[in-house]
Chain A
Amino acid sequence: MTATAPTFTELDTALTPPRLRIFGEWTLPHYALLEHELEQLRGRVDAQTPVDLDGIARLDTAGAALLAEWLGAARLRDIAADSPQLSPARRALLETIGTALDAYRHSARPKPRSGLLLLLERIGRAVESILRQALLLLGFIGLTLETLARSVFRPRRWRVTSLVAHVEQIGLDAVPIVSLLSFLVGAVVAFLGATVLADFGASIYTVDLIAISFLREFGVLLTAIMLAGRTASAFTAQIGSMKSREEIDAIRMLGLDPVELLVLPRVLALLISLPLLSFIAMLAGILGGALVCVFALDITPAMFLSVFHTDTDLRHLLVGLSKAPAFAFLIAVIGCLEGFKVSGSAQSVGEHTTSSVVQSIFVVILIDALAALFFMEMGW
């Protein structure tokens, strides 16, 4: 900033005591300049210096706030009262801003805390929320099982229509995407196996690799991850938007049980759909692998089938499918629980949908790893 003549304030030292004249445009666009000039005057003006406001061309809240801050609200009020040429509107503005500034000063802001403390606090909060979430999930699983046990012997309370509709949405509609995905992964696994095993002259074992990996792991895991992304998010969004529009409360007030009405059909539908989809995924994956074997490794379809038949036990299929219900239950329960945790806003629906997908994929992979360990130790 150059040391040109001040444009907004002038200390008239010819008079005794010196008189401060304030003029020009005291508006928001000049905020920084105004602040700078006031800073330069500090020390040269005391509480007794007469102030002349008559030269102000324009004044807005920003300018008034600066004046009020610099002179103090009470002083500004006195000065405004002593300036007969000041328009009533401008006087009202100075008065209002002065009062507002006093209110602003009096209500002290909480002091910002140090970064380390904030970091520790966030870690603590995160750990606490994980524990809380785990407890909540266990509680909700219990609630769901209890509701299931209560309604299972009362056929009148089975929600068959809702169940069938959900099976269609979750199961039937997911067949194309699940089979395509598994088919492609099957082909990729076959290529991988062929590349590695060819070095040992053991290309034929590619068949075993595909069969066992898809029956035991990939079929059910791929399906579960797909459904965690596709279905858990849908459950959260459906229930969450009902929650945010107070529909869940309405269900409760009508004497109905939201768990029975909303959660059970979804859990059961996923329990039916996921094993079936897993089976389809296994078939599609093995088909993808078989095609690669036929076209890239010169293994004839007949040979593929005979190796498959002799080398693969039924137990692999059973091990794979045994995990499906557990995945299905957890995905459905997490999706529904996150839906119930939605509060009010649309933003909350989005946050919980993300959270439900992340949690269910995490749980699926965690359970799968534990199960792999268990089955290996058991020699199954």
Chain B
Amino acid sequence: MSAVANTTAPGEVLIEVRGLVNRFGKQTVHAGLDLDVFRGEILGVVGGSGTGKSVLLRAIVGLLRPTAGSVEVFGENLLQLSPQRRSQIEQRFGVLFQSGALFSSLTVAENIALPLIEHAGLNRDDATHLAGVKLALVGLSMDTADKYPAALSGGMIKRAALARALALDPEILFLDEPTAGLDPISAAAFDQLLLTLHDALGLTVFLVTHDLDTLYTVCSRVAVLAQQKVLVAGTLDQVAAADDPWVHDYFHGPRGRAAEQAAEKRRQEN
């Protein structure tokens, strides 16, 4: 039932990145990067430290104006839209930032209720109620709801932030290293949660990660960032077979092999 098997033929393109160039001062992060994200897939974006995975994510969601090139989401270029139209598109995104980025002055429930009140026009009671359902959806109990983010553990913050990202039922979910800093059990639980939500909500997921286990467990497609562009993109098997020393080391190094064997074992058990 897992989404790994679900490598359907590419369908509708939701995100289209063409000729993206990002430069900070003299340092070029991306040079002519092309990438497509298809509806319903879980795309894992991997690459060494400093290859601009997070920068790519920020460029796609429109937080960063690229030096050159175009990014189209739902067929529109965010940076050229009117603020109202852009906000409408942004409501179809859910973004989970690396450190959660929960608002520290609001309780967890208020964090999730905020977009529901602001954008969906719900009253406070309905919003709080729905926020509770979202919290339960990501596996957090109700005593978390009235806590402030400072009182939560790393794994709980990631889950609460995911609940906020899911508040408006987004079509695309952007996750920036969701399992970084989690213990292996929490990380595995997060992977399962992501798969469940993906199947149930029909999400498209753009997943930046370093975690090989996550990659093998959840991703339907993988894109490797290196040499300032997308080196290879395709199913895990296609990418792992690519003829590049970095890709080879990444997928066939000791950790890569271990993750692959673990994933293989899981598949057989299912």
The answer, among A101, A345, A347, for a CB contact under 8 Å with B136, is: A101
Q: Flag whether B244 is at the interface (Cβ < 8 A).
A: no
- Hey, which chain A residues are within 8 Å of B166, CB to CB? 61
B202 touches A89 (CB 8 A): yes
B200 touches A62 (CB 8 A): no
Q: Flag whether B120 is at the interface (Cβ < 8 A).
A: yes
- What distance in Å separates the Cβ of A111 from its nearest Cβ neighbour in chain B? 11
Q: Flag whether A379 is at the interface (Cβ < 8 A).
A: no
B145 touches A96 (CB 8 A): no
B133 touches A104 (CB 8 A): yes
- Which of A26-34, A46-54, A162-170 touches B? A26-34
Q: Which residue of A lies closest to B119 (CB)?
A: A28
**In chain B between 104 and 139, which residues have their CB closer than 8 angstroms to a CB of chain A?**
104-105, 116, 120-123, 126, 130, 132-137
B130 touches A110 (CB 8 A): no
Q: Flag whether A93 is at the interface (Cβ < 8 A).
A: yes
- What distance in Å separates the Cβ of A202 from its nearest Cβ neighbour in chain B? 57
- Hey, which chain A residues are within 8 Å of B202, CB to CB? 89, 93
- Hey, which chain A residues are within 8 Å of B141, CB to CB? 103, 107
Q: Flag whether B197 is at the interface (Cβ < 8 A).
A: yes
B197 touches A96 (CB 8 A): yes
Binary contact track A95-114/B, C-beta < 8 Å → 1, others 0: 11100111110011110000
A110 to B147, CA, bound (A): 12
Number of A-B pairs whose CB atoms are under 8 Å? 77
Binary contact track B222-246/A, C-beta < 8 Å → 1, others 0: 0000000000000000000000000
A100 touches B133 (CB 8 A): yes
Q: Flag whether A92 is at the interface (Cβ < 8 A).
A: yes
- Hey, which chain A residues are within 8 Å of B143, CB to CB? 107, 109-110
Q: Count residues of B near A (Cβ-Cβ below 8 Å).
A: 30
B133 touches A65 (CB 8 A): yes
A108 to B146, CA, bound (A): 12
- What distance in Å separates the Cβ of B59 from its nearest Cβ neighbour in chain A? 26
The answer, among B126, B136, B197, B199, for a CB contact under 8 Å with A104, is: B136
| Contact of A61 with B199 at beta-carbon distance under 8 Å, contacts A31-B122, A103-B141 already known | no
B168 touches A109 (CB 8 A): no
- Hey, which chain A residues are within 8 Å of B201, CB to CB? 60-61, 93
- Hey, which chain A residues are within 8 Å of B116, CB to CB? 28
- What distance in Å separates the Cβ of A176 from its nearest Cβ neighbour in chain B? 36
- Hey, which chain B residues are within 8 Å of A96, CB to CB? 137, 196-197, 200
- Hey, which chain A residues are within 8 Å of B132, CB to CB? 104, 109
- What distance in Å separates the Cβ of B150 from its nearest Cβ neighbour in chain A? 6
A89 to B40, CA, bound (A): 11
Q: Which residue of B lies closest to A31 (CB)?
A: B122
Q: Flag whether B13 is at the interface (Cβ < 8 A).
A: no
A103 to B133, CA, bound (A): 8
Q: Flag whether B142 is at the interface (Cβ < 8 A).
A: yes
A108 to B136, CA, bound (A): 12
Q: Flag whether A35 is at the interface (Cβ < 8 A).
A: yes
Q: Flag whether B169 is at the interface (Cβ < 8 A).
A: yes
**In chain A between 5 and 38, which residues have their CB closer than 8 angstroms to a CB of chain B?**
27-29, 31-32, 35
Q: Flag whether A344 is at the interface (Cβ < 8 A).
A: yes
A93 touches B200 (CB 8 A): yes
A153 to B145, CA, bound (A): 56
A62 touches B136 (CB 8 A): no
The interface of chain A, by Cβ under 8 A from chain B, is: 27-29, 31-32, 35, 60-62, 65, 89, 92-93, 95-97, 100-104, 107-110, 344-345, 347
Known: A97-B137, A104-B133, A109-B142. 16 other contacts (CB 8 A): A28-B120, A32-B123, A32-B126, A61-B169, A61-B201, A62-B120, A62-B130, A62-B169, A92-B199, A93-B200, A93-B201, A96-B137, A97-B200, A107-B136, A107-B142, A345-B104
The interface of chain B, by Cβ under 8 A from chain A, is: 104-105, 116, 120-123, 126, 130, 132-137, 141-143, 145-146, 150, 166, 168-169, 196-197, 199-202
Interface CB pairs A-B, < 8 A, 17? A31-B122, A32-B126, A61-B130, A61-B201, A65-B130, A93-B202, A96-B137, A100-B137, A103-B141, A104-B132, A104-B135, A109-B143, A109-B146, A110-B143, A345-B104, A345-B150, A347-B150
